[in-house]
């Protein structure tokens, strides 16, 4: 028994987790059960509002089965599911391509400018996400700066319409909106790497590139995976970015489908079922992340 645990009662440290547990119960588990109740419930035939089924014995799986069948090839949600997956995958890859070098530079090479660069990374959080997306709408407008530059530089003499169902602008907006959430945890992971390991690799004759490939990159993979999960999970449920940047059904994502059924649609239980399916899909990704972290921790402990 440690000295601190002998001085203070054990329940004192466990009590520190109480606010977080209460927060999760009130603001996650209860609303999530409400979504389950709506998904397995019914609809008021007059007002077309959901009638949740709180008792599991009263659940009806008709809407859930109908929703699941829509994810089969050729189903109602088959195309939007793969479109969402493709958008998130491309946006995540671009975030890593841009964010990893930035985090690596700040962690390893920025000395006097590190505080300034960290402040610049946090700077986008001072402006609301909505305002930042609206700024992109102005940039991508037919007479905006992007088209003016493309026409002036003759890169694209006839610039495309970026705001009317263009998947490129939706993916770029996702990258712009979520990349700070990737860089910051990745930077923390790179900072935690013991510099003596890199010095040992260099002393053994490894070039800087080999030291990066065989030491830094493997040791940072847990951070890469964690940062990827942090931005990929909200991307899958994002609906306002496609709405603001595109607003076209050809670029709608799963979040847009959920929003459509919950606001004005005659089948809110379908929207709740879509939420459950999306949560199940994200739970699989989260499970893989937790398994990878546990395996990395076990390997480090066994070395």
Instruction: Identify which has the larger pLDDT, 38 or 5.
Output: 38
In a domain, 288, yes or no: yes
Question: Does one domain contain both 120 and 21?
Answer: no
Strand, helix or coil for residue 50 = strand
Closest CA to 157 of 149, 168, 166: 149
- Rounded to two decimals, the pTM is 0.84
CA-closest candidate to residue 271, choices 59, 38, 80: 38
Query: Is 150 found in the same domain as 33?
Result: no
Side-chain-facing half-sphere of 153: CA atoms under 13 Å: 9
Residues 84 and 2 in one domain: no
Top-confidence residue, 266 or 241? 241
pLDDT tier, 33 (very low <50, low <70, confident <90, very high otherwise): very high
pLDDT at 295 over 60: yes
pLDDT at 105 > cutoff 90 = yes
Answer yes or no: is pLDDT of 125 > 90. Answer: no
Residues 186 and 39: their CA atoms lie apart, in Å, by: 37
Residues 80, 50 share a domain: no
Q: What is the mean pLDDT of the chain?
A: 86
Work out the pLDDT band at 6, boundaries 50, 70, 90: low
- Do 280 and 162 lie in one domain? The reply is yes
Are 42 and 95 within one domain?
A: no
Predicted confidence at residue 5, as pLDDT, reads: 53
The alpha carbon dihedral of 225, 229, 230, 231 has a sign of positive
Q: Using an 8 Å Cβ cutoff, are 270 and 261 in contact?
A: yes
- Domain assignment of residue 146, yes or no: yes
**Distance from C-alpha of 268 to C-alpha of 262, rounded to nearest angstrom:** 5
Whether residue 120 is found in the same domain as residue 183 = yes
Q: Residue 86: in which H helix or E strand, if any?
A: helix 78-108
pLDDT in tens, 251-266: 899 888 888 887 766 7
87 within some domain: yes
Query: Do 40 and 87 have their domain in common?
Result: no
In a domain, 187, yes or no: yes
Instruction: Based on the fold, state whether residues 124 and 188 are members of the same structural domain.
Output: yes
Q: What is the mean pLDDT of residues 171-178?
A: 92
Which H or E run includes 159?
Answer: none
Return d(Cα 27, Cα 39) in angstroms, integer: 18
Report how far apart, in Å, the C-alpha atoms of 48 and of each of 34, 183, 263 are.
17, 44, 11
Alpha-carbon distance of 102 to 186, in angstroms, equals 10
Averaged pLDDT for residues 115-141: 86
Tokens of 27: 């603001």
| Domain limit, last residue, from 15, 30, 59 | 59
Q: Are 44 and 175 in the same domain?
A: no
Dihedral angle computed from the Cα positions of residues 45, 48, 54 and 60, in that order, rounded to the nearest 10 degrees: 60
- Residue 246 contacts residue 140 (beta carbons within 8 Å): no
Task: Supply the pLDDT for residue 1.
Answer: 45
Q: Is residue 66 part of a domain?
A: no
Residue 64 lies in a domain: no
Q: Does residue 18 sit in the same domain as residue 141?
A: no
Helix/strand/coil percent split, the chain, to 5: 75, 0, 25
CA distance 271 to 13: 41
pLDDT band at 215 (very low <50, low <70, confident <90, very high): confident
Q: How far apart are CA 69 and CA 76, in angstroms?
A: 8
CA distance 303 to 297: 10
Query: Domain total for the chain?
Result: 2
Whether the CB-CB separation of 274 and 254 falls below 8 Å is answered with yes
**Domain check: are 78 and 29 in the same one?**
no
Range of the domain at 217: 72-302
Tokens linked to 223? 């951070």
pLDDT at 80: 92
Assigned token pair, 224: 């890469």
Q: Examine residue 22 and state whether it is found in any structural domain, yes or no.
A: yes
Backbone torsions φ then ψ of 44, nearest 5 degrees: -65, 125
Per-residue model confidence (pLDDT) at position 140:
87
Looking at residue 155, its pLDDT comes to 85
Residue 18 in domain: yes
**Could you tell me the CATH number of the domain that includes residue 286?**
1.10.3720.10
In percent, the amount of the chain with pLDDT more than 90 equals 20
Region 14-42 average pLDDT:
89
Long-range contacts (CB closer than 8 Å, 24 or more residues apart) made by 192-196: 192/223, 193/219, 193/220
């Amino acid at each position: 028994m440690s000295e601190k645990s002998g001085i203070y009662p054990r329940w004192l440290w466990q009590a520190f987790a109480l606010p977080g547990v209460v927060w999760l119960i009130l603001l996650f588990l209860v609303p999530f059960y409400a979504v389950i109740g709506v998904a397995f419930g019914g609809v008021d035939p007059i007002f077309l509002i959901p009638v949740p089924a709180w008792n599991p014995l009263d659940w009806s799986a008709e809407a859930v089965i109908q929703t699941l069948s829509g994810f089969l090839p050729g189903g109602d949600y088959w195309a939007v599911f793969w479109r969402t997956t493709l958008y998130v995958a491309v946006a995540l890859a671009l975030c890593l391509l841009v964010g990893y070098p930035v985090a690596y530079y700040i962690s390893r090479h920025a000395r006097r400018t590190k505080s300034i660069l960290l402040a610049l990374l946090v700077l986008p959080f001072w402006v609301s996400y909505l305002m930042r997306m609206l700024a992109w709408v102005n940039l991508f407008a037919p007479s905006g700066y992007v088209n003016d530059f493309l026409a002036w530089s003759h890169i694209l003499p006839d610039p495309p319409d970026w705001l009317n169902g263009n998947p490129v602008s939706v993916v770029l907006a996702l990258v712009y909106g979520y990349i700070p959430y990737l860089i910051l945890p990745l930077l923390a992971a790179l900072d935690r790497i013991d510099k003596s390991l890199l010095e040992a690799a260099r002393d053994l004759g490894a070039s800087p590139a080999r030291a990066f490939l065989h030491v830094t990159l493997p040791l940072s993979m847990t951070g890469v995976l964690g940062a990827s999960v942090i931005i990929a999970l909200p991307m899958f449920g994002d609906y306002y970015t496609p709405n603001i940047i595109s607003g076209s059904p050809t670029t709608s994502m799963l979040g847009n489908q959920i929003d459509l059924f919950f606001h004005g649609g005659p089948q809110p239980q379908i929207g709740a079922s879509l939420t459950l399916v999306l949560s199940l899909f994200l739970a699989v990704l989260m499970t893989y992340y937790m398994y990878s972290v546990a395996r990395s921790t076990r390997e480090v402990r066994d070395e």
